[in-house]
Structure 1
């Protein structure tokens, strides 16, 4: 009966798979970021009413909603990593012993760190080109429309920030995997 209660408690606890304090902060931010989706919805409703009821379409609605949804999508990477909801081949992961899971976690973290480092380097180059002119003056890249907001430059910076956050998260996960004690027979995939 105790095992069933533990399973039910783990299922009901939405933060059961969050591994570090940094992950807890990132996962908690999703409640705030969810308002960006709501804002995009409101902007879309305003645009539809302005366009079809008042025959006066806006020039900013499309770019604003595109920016909000793209920004939310980019932040989804660190949130998925924080909640341990990223892609993993569970068929192999669940079939091995806790010691091998630990090894898989270490290998996965090292590969992810290399990937994030390369992506951060590419992001740094993108940000440099979108934030500065060739002579080094601050000039945010715009969309090129009549409104011309600097959303491309802001999104490229957000890519760099999101990748940097995921690099730090993965580094913390690597440290936790290295330190994890797998000698206890009660260690399972969900207990990290």
Structure 2
């Protein structure tokens, strides 16, 4: 059991690390958005790179933050009944929903993201939302990495939830 706890702790630390990196991209969003707004409205000098940078930074913030949010159970949910359940029943509901909904959807999304990232590297794809044409491969790779980290964190939660359902106590 000690080895399993170490693995789960490692996955948790990856999610913490991912969230810590993701927050800097939120800071980048503010800086670039401010720069573009000032350039465009006060100096009549819009940039060709700000829109793509904002889109990529927003996506990176979202994707690198996903595993962090999942680890801290901070995602949005409608919990009319869930909040009234015991911890063991919540864990059972989480296991059922993860197996039926979460893992199938995230697995498909991850497979597609990996395919898109590999294709982007292979063909030297560029983003064409503006006339800047930045390379798409780094962004697509981070997209796949974020989904991979989310799946890892979800697997760690699934293991903890199954343990709680079967043993009646937390694994940690």
TM-score range, shorter chain: 0.7 to 0.9
Residue 83 (structure 1) aligned to one of 72, 94, 99:
72
Residue of structure 2 in register with 1:140 after alignment? 125
Separation in 2, partners of 1:68, 1:42: 11
Bigger Cα Rg = 1
1:35-184 equivalences in 2 (<5 Å): 35-111=24-100, 112-133=102-123, 139-143=124-128, 145-150=130-135, 152-180=136-164, 181-182=167-168
TM-score (norm 1): 0.68
Q: Does the CA-based 8 Å contact 2:113-2:143 persist in structure 1?
A: yes
Per-residue deviation, 1:44:
2.7
Count of aligned residue pairs for this structure pair: 162
Unaligned runs of 5+ in 2: 1-7
Report the CA distance shift for 1:53/1:90 in structure 2 as closer, same or farther (over 3 A): closer
Q: Write out the 4+ residue segments of structure 1 that deviate beyond 4 Å after TM superposition.
A: none
Distance 1:91 1:54, change over 3 A: closer
| Structure 1: gaps spanning 5 or more residues | 1-18, 134-138
Q: Partners of 2:21 and 2:118 in 1: how far apart?
A: 29
Shift of 1:84: 0.7
2:8 pairs with 1:23: no
Residues of 2 paired with 1:142 and 1:127: CA distance? 13
C-alpha deviation, 1:79, in angstroms: 2.2
Aligned equivalents of 1:97, 1:50: Cα separation in 2: 54
- Deviation by residue 1:73-118 (Cα, 9 ceiling, x = unmatched): 2223222211112244433223344443332232133232222222
Higher RCO (Cα < 8 Å, 6 or more apart): 2
Q: CA deviation at 1:157?
A: 2.0
